[in-house]
Structure 1
Amino acid sequence: MALPIHSKAQDHLPPKVLRFIVYNLYITCVQDRNLDVHFCSLNDPCCVAWSGLLPLFRARAVSSTWNEAILEISTLKEHLFFRRVEDAYYPHPWHINTKVRKGVLLNRYRVYRTISSETGTGVYKAYDFGHPAGCSKADRVIIKAWLSATDRECVVEQQVYEIIRTPPVSGTPVVHSSDYDKEHGVFALVLQRLGPSLEEVLELLPKNQRFDDRMILAVAIQMLDRYKDIHARGIIHNGIKPGNICLPPYDSGVETQLYAIDFGLSFLLDAAATEFLPSAHRADTVGNRSYLSALGHHGITQSQRDDLESLAYLLSSLRHGDLPWDPPKIWRLKMATPASVIFRGMDQSYFDFWKDVKGLAFGEAPDYDTMRKRFEDCWKQGGYGDVPGRVDWWEELALYVNSSL
C-alpha cells in the first residue's frame, strides 16, 4: 500500500476528504492481510497488524493533518477494533465494565466477556494478542480489574501472588501481568485461564445428582495439599467455596490437579512471629457466609483452622447438595449443628477430620499428613485407584455431561 507521505498536497485537502482517504486506506490494509480475525485496535495493534499498518504510522510522522485524521479514525467506536466480540451496553462511563471494554488493556488484552462485576471491581475473560503470530494465536486469559489500585482486595491479592510465585505453589494460577492502565483508569491483574469451577461442574449434573464418594475424597486430598503449601507461606485463603476451586486447563498435562483461586479476602500471618495470636480487635466478617468458620462470624482473626473448617463444610455440601443452615442466623446454627448432621451418611474419616480441626488453636499448624492419610485409607478401602486423590477431572466432566444428555 503506497501513501503520498513525501508530498504536502494532503495538507490542503478538506478534512472530510482526508478522513475518507485515511479510512479507506485503513480498510484496504485490513482486507489485504485478512485481519478479520484480529482483536487488537488501531491504537494498540498486534505485531501482524503493526506490519500491515506501518505505512499509516509513517504518514503520521511526516504530516500533522495525516496524524489528526488517523487519530480521529482510531477513536471511532465502530472502527476501534478489527473484529467485534460480545456486544455489551454499559450506559455509565464511570462503570468498571465500561472502562475495561472501551479499549485494549495494558496494550495487549481485549475483554470479551464479563464473568462478574461489583462496585469498583470485576472479573473478565479476555484475549491476549501478545503472541509473535498476533491475534491468530491469541490466548485466553482471566482479568481481575479494580478502579482503585489501593482497594484492599487488590492489594492483598497482589501480595499473595507475589508470595506464592517463587517458588510457585502448585494448584494456583499463574500471573501473566499486573499493572495500572492509566488510559482506562483500572488496575488489571491478568491470570492464567483455568477450567470450570466445581460450582459450574455441579450445574452440569442432572437434577439431584451430586459428586460421588470418590470425587469428594479427591477434593479432600487435593485441597489438603493446597492448604498445606499455602499455609506454609503464611497465607490464610479465607475463600473456599465451589466457585473458587477450578479444574485444570484442558489438555494441559495436569488434568488431575485442582486449583485454588481468589485470594482477595485472604489474611497474611506474620511468618516472623514465634507465636501467633489473634488480633485484639474485632475483624471484619469476610468470606462466603455459608462456608465461613463459626469463629469468623464473630470477627475473630482467622488462621489455618478456619480454612480447614471451611473445607469441611465444602465437602459436606458436595455430598448433600446444601448445608444445614441459611441466613440470617447462620452463625447460631453452625455453632449448634453437630458433626452427625453435617457429615450424615459420610465415612468416619470426615468425622475424624472434623474432630482434629475443631481441636486446633489459633495459628496452630495442622497435622496435614495425618488428615490426608485418613482420606487416603478411605480411598484405598473403596478401591478407587492406585494413587489416592488422582482423578482425570476432564474425563469425569465428560462423563457427567454425557449422562445428562
Structure 2
Amino acid sequence: MDFEYSAATQQRLEALKGFMQAHIYPNEQTYHQALQDSSDPWQTPTLMETLKQAARDAGLWNLFLPEEYKPYGAGLTNLEYAPLCEEMGRVLWSSEVFNCSAPDTGNMEVLARYGSEQHKQQWLEPLLNGQIRSAFAMTEPAVASSDATNIETRIERDGEHYVINGRKWYTSGAMNRNCRIMIVMGKTDPSAPRHRQQSQILVPMDTPGVTVVRPMEAMGFLDKPVGHAEVLFENVRVPVSNLLVGEGEGFAIAQGRLGPGRIHHCMRLIGCAQRALEMACDRANERVAFGVPLAKQQSVRESIARMYCDIEQARLLTLKAADKMDKHGNKVARDIIAAIKIVAPQMACNVIDQAIQIHGAAGTSQDTVLSATYAYARTIRLADGPDQVHMMQLGRNLMADRLG
C-alpha cells in the first residue's frame, strides 16, 4: 500500500482540521457546560445543530459512507476515511457534527445495504440528514453476549406482526431524546442451526411495550447526551415488514455491520491517543518538578517515546486493515480487522494512562479530556466483541491456515 494520503484525502483532511480549529475546539467547553446546565441530560445542546449545519456547508458530511453508497455520502474508501475519522476522534462528541457517530454510522450502513425502500425512506433518509438518531440493541444482561448466539430476546411471528420480548442493556444511543429507531437483534427460531436462529428487526422507540429502564454508566460516565440504555421489550408488536432481509439473517447482518464499525472505533481511538500524547508533551514542557521541567526527566522522555511508537504502530496496522478491506472485502480482511480491534483499544488505554500519569491529579479531573477518553478506550475493549473473542478467533484462523 501507499503510505502517503492521496491529494484528495489530504485536501479533505486539511479542511477537517481547519473546521476543528475554527468550530470544535473553541466550543469544547461550551458544549460540556451546556450539558451541565441542562435540565434534561439526554437532550442534545442546540449548539450541535449549529455546528452540524456548518459542517454541511463545508462539505464535511456523511464522510463514512463508501463508494457503493455514494448517492448518500462522500463515497470514500476506508483508507481515505481513516485519517478523517482519526481527526474526529480527538474530541469525543465531534463525530456527530459530521454525521459520522456511532451507532448511527453502523445503522445507516445496515439500512443502506439491507433495508427495503420503505425502510430507507422512513429511517435512512432522516438519519443521513442528521434529523434523528438511532440505537442498536444487541447486548443482554442475562447472558454472555460476547457469544451473540446466546442472545435470548425472542422475535415471534403472529400473523402480520412480530412480537418481541426480552431485555437489552448498553443499547447505545437509546437515551437520547432524538433517538427514533432501534435495530434489535433477537431469536426467531431457537431450533434452527446455531447461526441461523437470529434475526434483526426495526423497532421505533415509541412502540408500545418498549420501556427505557435506566441509563447505564460506563466507567462512571453516562455519555450524555447519547447514553447507553437498559431497554425492556414486553409484547412489542411491529409489522412483519420491519424485519431486515429475512428470518435467520441476523448473524450475517451483524457481521457485516461490525466490520466497518470496529475499524471506525480504532480510527477514533488513534485520534484520542494522539491528542493525549500531544497533551502529555505540552504538560511535560510546562511543569517543573525537583527543580527541572518534567521534559528533562528521563522517565517522562521514555514514556513519551513509547507512546509515540505505540500510536504509530497501531495507526499503520489500522491503515493496512482499511486498505485490505477496500481491495479484498471485509470477509477476506477479517484477521487484520480482529488484530486492530485487539491492538488499538489496548494501545489507547496505555497511552492515555501514561498521559494521565504525566498530568498528575489533573489528568483524573474534569479539567482535561483524559479520564473520559480513557473510559471510552477501556469500554471499546468490550464493545463490538471483547479482546478475548477476537484473540480466540484470530488464533484459530491462523492455525487453520497452516493446515491448509
TM-score clears 0.5? no
TM-score, normalization by structure 1: 0.22
Q: Which has the larger radius of gyration?
A: 1
Q: Which has the larger helix fraction? A: 2
Bigger RCO of structures 1 and 2 (CA < 8 A, at least 6 apart) = 2
TM-score, normalization by structure 2: 0.22
